[in-house]
């Protein structure tokens, strides 16, 4: 329910003690609009004749009405449910996902204390990392006891013993089960993702029949990933605002104070006046970069670019891209080879930067760069138009193939007229 936290504080049922149920996507296949972990809160109407109150959406509309009805049923009898929604070819008007996928939705009433816990979490700073772990009641199980209340786990990841202690309330004092859960939950926390984690009560070691695993919904929030934009120029000014829309914490870096101080870079979260390679090395040494950090080198000046790319390719960054012409790229590669970088490092360098969109203006180039950055986060992305790609739209498309190849050759942008 992390995606609902910002709205939770202003949602009337959360402050009035109104009974609520939570519907959560716990399984998805095919083409589906929302990922595992997406939740919707449903509160019963305060009096007859009024509509129930809803916060969030699971499908963008195509199954939400049926989910609300099932949530109200769960509120009526206090019993958890597991519902599946998919596309029905026999009845085009049946409740289902017209995009062809299938959703598995878990529904359960929330104890009143649960919303209080979540409301407290909502007050944390947006940059504060944490996780919410919630036990999903089994279908048919009453969901009004303390074991289904969410627990808040601080990040960075705790040691296993500390994490087990934090998860203890979900296992009603069973320390062995809590420690087993901690070993399974810890990798999910480290990635900052949402996932359903099945936990065998006895660790899977007993030969006695088991009622089935306890399912935990783990939702993590890490600080926003960083994007370092090097170059206080037209391209940097165009890239900063849309990068923030993608959720990046953007830092503009330039050694020239007069250029970096321009008002057009005010949208950047941080502005660093420093030699770019020195700034990068200092941030890495301070632990402020991670495997999600992206670097876009737009300075187009060898005295900045060469030492910066040398330093960047020695770090474990998510994306390293550099603007320049084909000639600049060849000179850049020669410099990196001389600095001791091999084929593996050079393969990580996106140069010339961006996808081939025929971009010309700085704004178009920014779109090209961000398109490549988004594609780089998904190894299965082909970069081709969706109409030319086979396979599912949402989710992995490891087997996707382009049906047709474009003819001709178009030079990529990044070869400015002045080179």
Pick the CATH number of 226-388 from 3.40.50.720, 3.10.110.10, 3.30.420.40, 3.50.50.60: 3.40.50.720
Instruction: Please count the CA atoms within 13 angstroms of the CA of 61 that sit on its side-chain side.
Output: 0
> Buried b vs exposed e over 172-201: b needs ≥16 C-beta within 10 Å?
eeeeebbbbbbebbbebbeebebbbbebbb
Domain regions of the chain by residue span: 1-117, 124-136+146-204+211-223, 226-388
CA distances from 138 to 204, 216, 297 (A): 18, 11, 51
Of the pLDDT bands very low, low, confident and very high (cuts 50, 70, 90), residue 60 is low
pLDDT at 416 over 50: no
| Three-state secondary-structure class, residue 198 | strand
Q: What is the pLDDT of residue 404?
A: 33
pLDDT at 75 over 70: yes
pLDDT digit string, tens, across residues 319-371: 999 998 888 899 999 999 999 999 999 999 999 999 999 999 999 999 999 99
Of the pLDDT bands very low, low, confident and very high (cuts 50, 70, 90), residue 271 is very high
pLDDT digit string, tens, across residues 9-38: 778 877 777 788 889 888 877 655 577 888
CA distances from 277 to 253, 302, 328 (A): 10, 12, 19
Q: Is 287 exposed, middle or buried (0-12, 13-18, 19+ CB in 10 A)?
A: exposed
Of the pLDDT bands very low, low, confident and very high (cuts 50, 70, 90), residue 203 is low
pLDDT digit string, tens, across residues 111-166: 777 777 777 776 665 567 788 898 888 877 776 555 567 888 876 556 788 888 88
């Amino acid at each position: 329910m992390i995606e609902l936290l910002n709205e939770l504080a202003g949602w009337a049922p959360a402050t009035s003690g109104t009974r609520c149920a939570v519907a959560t996507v716990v399984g998805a296949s095919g083409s589906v609009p929302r990922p595992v972990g997406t939740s919707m809160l449903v509160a019963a109407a305060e009096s007859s004749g009024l509509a129930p109150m809803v916060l969030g959406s699971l499908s963008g509309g195509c199954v939400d009405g049926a989910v609300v009805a099932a949530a109200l049923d769960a509120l009526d009898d206090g019993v958890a449910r597991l519902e599946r929604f998919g596309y029905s070819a026999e009845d085009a008007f049946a409740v289902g996902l017209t995009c062809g996928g299938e959703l598995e939705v878990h529904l359960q009433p929330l104890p009143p204390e649960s919303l209080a816990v979540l409301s407290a979490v909502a007050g944390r700073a947006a940059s504060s990392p944490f996780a919410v772990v919630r036990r999903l009641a089994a279908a048919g199980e009453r969901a009004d006891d303390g074991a289904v209340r969410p627990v808040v786990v601080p990040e960075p990841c705790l040691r296993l013993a500390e994490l087990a202690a934090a998860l203890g309330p979900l296992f009603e004092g069973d320390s062995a089960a809590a420690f087993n859960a901690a070993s399974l939950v810890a990798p999910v926390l480290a990635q900052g993702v949402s996932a359903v984690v099945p936990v065998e009560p006895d660790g899977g070691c007993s030969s006695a029949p088991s009622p089935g695993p306890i399912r935990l919904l783990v939702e993590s929030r890490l600080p926003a990933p960083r994007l370092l934009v090097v170059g206080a120029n037209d391209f940097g000014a165009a890239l900063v605002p849309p990068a923030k829309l993608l959720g990046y914490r953007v830092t503009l870096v330039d050694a020239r104070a007069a250029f970096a101080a321009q008002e057009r870079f005010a949208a950047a979260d941080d502005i660093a006046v420093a030699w770019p390679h020195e700034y990068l090395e200092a941030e890495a040494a301070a632990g402020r970069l991670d495997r999600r950090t992206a670097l876009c080198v737009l300075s187009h000046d060898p005295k900045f670019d060469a030492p910066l790319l040398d330093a960047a390719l020695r770090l474990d960054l998510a994306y390293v891209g550099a603007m320049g012409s084909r000639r600049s790229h060849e000179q850049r590669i020669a410099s990196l080879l001389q600095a001791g970088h091999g084929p593996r490092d050079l393969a990580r360098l996106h140069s010339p930067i961006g996808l081939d969109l025929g971009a010309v203006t700085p704004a178009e180039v920014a779109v090209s760069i961000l398109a490549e950055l988004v594609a780089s986060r998904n190894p299965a992305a082909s970069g081709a138009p969706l109409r030319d790609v086979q396979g599912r739209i949402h989710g992995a498309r490891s087997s996707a193939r382009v049906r047709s190849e474009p003819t001709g050759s178009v030079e990529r942008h990044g070869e400015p007229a002045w080179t």
